[in-house]
Amino acid sequence: MGAALIILAAGQGTRMNSDRPKVLHPLGGVPILWHAMAAGQALEPEQIVIVTGHGAEAVEAAARGYDAEVVCVLQAEQLGTGHAVAQAMPALAGFSGRALVLYGDTPFIKAETLEAMLASPADLVVLGFTAADPGRYGRLVAEGDRLERIVEWKDASETERAIPLCNSGVMCADADLLAELVAGLSNDNAAGEYYLTDIAAAARARGLDARIVTCPEAETLGINTRAELAQAEAAFQARMRAEAMENGVTMQAPDTVFFSFDTVIGRDTVIGPNVWFGPRVTIESEAEIRSFCHLEGCHVSRGATVGPFARLRPGAELAEDVHVGNFVEIKNAILDEGVKVGHLTYLGDAHVGEHSNIGAGTVTCNYDGVSKHRTKIGAHAFIGSDTMLVAPVTVGAHAMTASGSVITGNVPDGALAVGRARQENKLGLAVRLFEKLKTEAARRKGKTR
């Protein structure tokens, strides 16, 4: 039987004190919403429905940025979680499998937990957890794993508040049954809202089987405040660091390394202190990323070394055994095998051939104020220090540029390009010039007394 996901992402998140929708705040370099989507996508659902509300256009754009096939529906008025699910049901018309209700601000529920919910034979499955501090969570009133009802904290008796089993809000049922249950909800309560939690009692009243699946409390962490966002970031980073080391990555100071949602690092790679990985970074095996590097949207191949103090921007592609040294920035550039870029260099919109050497202070002048232009450097070329390569320009294989050159035209294979003014030595001029400057400085000092 197939599965569908309903992800509730309509809330404003007023406690975040932000103009940005809560689910779009970054966690691991990407929107919180993406984490919830990723857990559900591991189930290979037939359909994903995102319920939007506050900032609907931005939320929809972010959701489609992760999965272009998602269906987004608008909850124009936020009238409760039950009302939100009801807005999603028409999008599942004709779908006969199980529907899972998830939350866009609850990023850490594991795919294994959702699989356990789908595997339950019960008509309605609710995800519960035992909290260290149950506080104001709703409670699951149950006998064993058989759920009787869900009671909100404000409506609970003292006996019910003493129940340690809490409600995560995540539910699973056949799509048709879920549609029937939410259609029967009432808003006859103090808040005037339609509570999804009321479907548990409704299911039991119909003689249906409602069951509980449990998970660790850490999986149910919801994000409602900036402090909780910081806690979630710390939890995410701790998990990513642990997984990386478990998979054979060496980190010399793990607590100073920050990963993104989709960072991929191969075994036997060494990561130095204070390294930051943005989205879309892949590091192959046996590479080394030295301290204080910043990487995003790039690919580093086996045996390459980066840093310290290097920046790889989107589109940077480093082949095997490439060396990128300190204070080097690479953007939208391909460096073929064995290229060396030692220090103090910017390579943007470029392709550097294998085993070429790029001298200190080299800059590809790729932007003319309107458009970007590419620089091509052939294999085994030698670019002298402080060379300005004014794109579009091509330097041939085995070619060389003289240090301090401004290269504005193509350089043939094997040629030496010199693009600098001729040096002239004015004998004795330096001494006379210094004497003149000192005399003028003394005269100005005397006038100010």
Give me the active site residues, please. Answer: 343
Can you give the three-state secondary structure of the chain, one letter per residue?
Answer: CCEEEEEEECCCCHHHCCCCCHHHCEECCEEHHHHHHHHHHCCCCCEEEEEEECEHHHHHHHHHHHCCCCEEEECCCCCCHHHHHHHHHHHHCCCCCEEEEEECCCCCCCHHHHHHHHHCCCCEEEEEEECCCCCCCCEEEEECCEEEEEECHHHCCHHHHCCCEEEEEEEEEEHHHHHHHHHCCCCCCCCCCCCHHHHHHHHHHCCCCEEEEECCHHHHCCCCCHHHHHHHHHHHHHHHHHHHHHCCCEECCHHHCECCCCCEECCCCEECCCCEECCCCEECCCCEECCCCEECCCEECCCCEECCCCEECCCCEECCCCEEEEEEEEEEEEECCCCEEEEEEEEEEEEECCCCEECCCCEEECECCCCECCEEECCCCEECCCCEEECCEEECCCCEECCCCEECCCECCCCEECCCCCCCCCCCHHHHHHHHHHHHHHHHHHHCC
